[in-house]
Structure 1
Amino acid sequence: MSEPSDEQAAGQHYLICGTEDCQENGQFYCNACHRPLCEQCRDDHIKNPKTKAHEIVIYRYRKHQLPVEKCELHPTRNVDMFCRECKTPLCSKCSTMKEHKGHEFDDLEEIYAEKYALQQGEFSKIQKYFLPTTQGLKSDIEEDATQIKKIMESIRTSMKAEAGSLKNLVDEVTKENIENTYTMEKTLLKMLKSQETKYDDYIAYLGKMSDEFEEYLSITNQKLLFSKTLKIKLIPETTRPVPPVFTAGRFSKDDVAKLLGKVNVPNTKPEKRKIQPMETVTAHMKSTEKQLEQSKEKSDMKPTLSLSSSVTKVREYSVPGVVNAHHVSVEKSGRLWISDDNGNLVQTDLQGKQLQKIQTSGWREGYHTATQDGDLIYTDRSKKVIYRITPDRKITEFIKTGEWKPLSVYSSHINGDLLVGMFKDKEAKVTRYSKAGQEIQSIQMDNQGQELYSYPYYITENVNGDICTSDWNKKAVVVVNKSGQHRFSYTGQGSGFSPYGICTDVLGHILVCDYNSNTVHLLDQESGFLSAILSSKQGIEFPRGVCVDDENNLYVGQQRTNTVKVYKYLH
């Protein structure tokens, strides 16, 4: 009986037992006999003294039978062994030959079964994982390809302009060189003409000498032979011209590239496309969309909430343990985390009493964030690690960022993801991690292939999913949507914008500190400047950090003081 394939086995109602005259379901398989067995025939097989040592397994775990292949040296024998030393298949008779004396042999059928199972597993991976995942990546590549075409067309236009300029120079130099060859040719021909004249004169001289010799040799003038001896002048010497040699230009493609300008890939390590299991990516996308919708519903439940005509200070905290109150994170309980530029990270209660203090490598950046679960996340750029502090004050290493230095961090109120601004050398990016610490997104370039970030000092997320980054080196607030596409960059009002702390509120406003003008700017979701909501008029000097809690209170940390001030600006 021929063995059905896995596809055939799956397609028919049941497998037929391989025992003669038995039509029962062959749900088992004898690896020695290579045939399916029903339950009764399996029991008989085990009881039979001749077959009780056979290996019987469930059909789907069977070993596949070795295809029949005749030995070339012994055509009556099948190839069923494998020589380890020679690494070649052979038959049992080959194994007795002197060439294989002392060698070790393996059962070729065992090797075949292992290889078959391995390849079948790989085939299954293709259908269930690799193919659908690759199709998703292909869509990303198609988008990249469209953008690359635009970029490359622009490059080609520039290259043609450069080539046209060089061509003009080449034509000019070639023209001068050709004119020079005519001058050389004229000089050389003039020299040759002079030599030709010299030999014409000598030939005339030889004619004259011939006449004289004839006269001397005449019988009538024999006396002349004794009176004078004629001598012939030597043939004048001339030189052959040294013809000019054209020496071809010794240049390579690199030399031409230096003249024309060369297309180079930036000295940036290509970022690998993240390959996630489809079910993980799908689940995360559904979760994010659901939470965004819930967030929108919550916002819609407060139609009367709007900007107040005035800003009112409601309280202030003097934070013990910090020199300057820079970045501020507010827990759901109302407790605060405040950091300064000496690496001090302090937790206080509602009365400003210090609850715990941690020494970190942080400086003035927004390197900590409170999660919706009550934890605190903070970065250590020196160790390239992100830590988690649980409510019971236990500190654990949460995420290692490899060669990237984590700078700023924010815990999403939408889905709990972590947004981390990081840098290395002259590169910077924003990375999204799941609540479990798995990297799920990396944002570094805009649609034109330009770097989005330089030094992502502070980071936050808006209610619509936009990622808002305060980039100190770029002197701008850089905003991308949840997919990482650049939406806009805000560069302040006038010159000298120096952005620091940044946050958003329930209405989608963006609030950012401008250290240069000692103000806090209020923007809408589309980068529109609404007002300098806080300034020296409200007692603010050198604002560094801003944070909005669940009650829409605005917390402001300042340089040169350990006081955090709290304001109401919505009603």
Structure 2
Amino acid sequence: MSEPSDEQAAMQHYLVCGSEDCQENGQFYCNDCHRPLCEQCRDEHKKGANTKNHEIVLYRHRKYQLPVEICQDHPTRNVDIFCKDCKTPICSKCMKEHRGHEFEDLEDIYADKYALWQGEFSKIQKYFLPTTQGLKSDIEEDAEHIKKIMESIRISMKAEAISLKDLVDEVTSENIEHTHTMEKSLLKMLKSQETTYDDYNIYLGKISDEFQEYLSVTNKKLLFSKILKIQPIPDTTKPVKPLFTAGQFNRNDIAKLLGKVNVPNAKPEKRQIQPMDSEEFTTHLKSTEKQFEQINEKSNIKPTLSLSSSVTKVREYCVPGVSSVLHVSVDKLERLWVSDSNGNLVQIDLQGNLLQKIQTSGEYEGYHTATQDGDFIYTDKKKQVIYRITPDKNITEFIKTGDWRPLGIHSSRINEDILVGMVNCYKKKAKVTRYSKTGKELQNIQTHNNGEELYSNPHYISENINGDICTSDSNKVVVVNKSGHHKFSYTGQGSSLRLFGICTDVLGHILVFDNVSKTVQLLDQQGRLLSVIRLPRQRGIKIPLSVCVDDKNNLYVGYAMKFPLPCTLTVYKYLE
């Protein structure tokens, strides 16, 4: 395949042939030699005297190589045979001691077991994890629903209590008004009685005058006068005094008047668990396309999306204000943030116009990232601070990292957590720290289970679609799962690496730039090299350093140009 022209700006990516000095597409695989082969090398392999009987298959149908294990009894031999009678692995020299026994190729057993366990792993990734995550989401939704229901009940209770209180106030007001009426009636009666005695006292005064008049006359006149009779004292009645009879009620009576909350006496309904399609999950998904089908159920990406046969340039930017393009971030509005090794951090629009420029202490790190909510975050390793920029260009101090210098940073597209690669120069330690989107420290990832250090220079960091944390650590790619358990470290295919930018895509690929081979190396989620993207040589380009994939599956490659040419950022399509 000839190298494409500058005008086409196409790149090649393929599985590299395992034959010496051959860089063609290794689409076939020799199960005996355990190496990929291009079509020409396959044909030569079939003609070779020692290799003509080798089993050659398509790469995706390859047999996985048996791990090397030295025989304990014969240290010069590898264990590669299985004794079915003794049920133990042995080497070829051990066969003398197992004469008459039935044997089986241990590599065939390993390949079958590998496929079986890979299938079980696929079940976990495709069915069990998504299903339990779905159930967890249902539980979270139920929790929110319960909170809303209980708040509604509390509001109803308060309203009912207010209603009852209003009725109590109304009845009390009526009873008090009745006491005023009763008091008025009794006082009126007593006033009438008082008037009766006032009238009687006037009568007594008159009759007293008559008696005095008779007593002052002569005896003869008194003897013959009519005897006066005094009217009796009028009778009156005492008022019946009102009595207050207290209401007969207690707490239970009030509780009966008010409503109460209870859980219906019903059997809880089991959550619906979608059954697993065993046929779908027992198939070992080896190709990139099949790996994508695992994810496709939860995404809107078309099922046919896969690696294209060539990578084509979409557009190119000249980036002002920087001396190189060491890291690229694409924000919510598709504007680009670009940084160089001199601490220059610039923002440009889709036309390449400079929007703003910030001076930082950043160098050869992926020290900035765009968040899902439209903010922008960058690190300052000398000040040991992480800053946040809001869409209105307001810069605030977001996180202080103490004794640790923050290097690479990434904002999760899954849950908006913030992943930061850090180093402690005094202790000569390195780690990856997870923060919540509000800046709360959640997790520190630093060592293997055996205490061995995971990182030395985590200067670029990204997160895969399954939650794996992928770190470019100078000479290796370190991948841990979301719990922080080490999955693998990729150190290249027999040659040393000098790694810079790292990113992931919608298919779960890990793309990392290696400055030794001047290629973008594309790995799967298990750390296997799937493809090598060879960048075209362009006039004036010194080295490409940074890679970034946006939501539209565009691959951004940042270059450092020879002075005085401007720095460029090229956008490619590599999926179709």
With the length of structure 2 as denominator, give the TM-score of the two structures.
0.47
If asked which structure has higher relative contact order (CA below 8 Å, sep 6+), I would say 2
With the length of structure 1 as denominator, give the TM-score of the two structures.
0.48
